[in-house]
Amino acid sequence: MSDTILTRLKNNLSFYRFNHSRQVAEEAKKLAYRWEVNPEQAFLAGLVHDYARDLSPERLQSFLPSFLEAEAWQIPSIFHALAGPSIVKKELDICDFRVLRAIRWHATGCEEMTTLDKIVFVADFSEPSREFEAAQEVRKIAEKDLNRAYLLTLKAKLLYLISNQKPVYSASLRAWNKEIGINGRKA
Q: Where are the alpha helices (DSSP H) in the chain?
A: 3-12, 15-34, 39-48, 57-61, 79-92, 97-105, 115-126, 133-142, 146-163, 170-177
Q: What is the mean pLDDT of residues 45-70?
A: 93
Domain hosting 18: range is 3-182
pLDDT digits (tens, 9 = 90+) for 150-169: 999 999 999 999 999 999 99
Asked if residues 119 and 28 have their Cβ atoms less than 8 Å apart, the reply is yes
Per the structure, the count of domains in the chain is 1
**DSSP type of residue 112:** S
Q: Amino acid letter at 186? A: K
Residues whose CB is less than 8 angstroms from the CB of residue 93 and which lie 6 or more positions away in sequence, other chains included: none
pTM: 0.94
Q: Does residue 187 lie within any of the structural domains?
A: no
Asked if residues 122 and 70 have their Cβ atoms less than 8 Å apart, the reply is no
Q: What is the CATH number of the domain that holds 53?
A: 1.10.3210.10
Q: Does residue 50 lie within any of the structural domains?
A: yes
With cut-offs at 50, 70 and 90, classify the pLDDT of residue 186. Answer: low
Percent of the chain with pLDDT over 70: 96
Q: Does residue 82 lie within any of the structural domains?
A: yes
- Of the candidates 43, 6, 53, 3, the residue with the CA atom closest to the CA atom of residue 23: 43
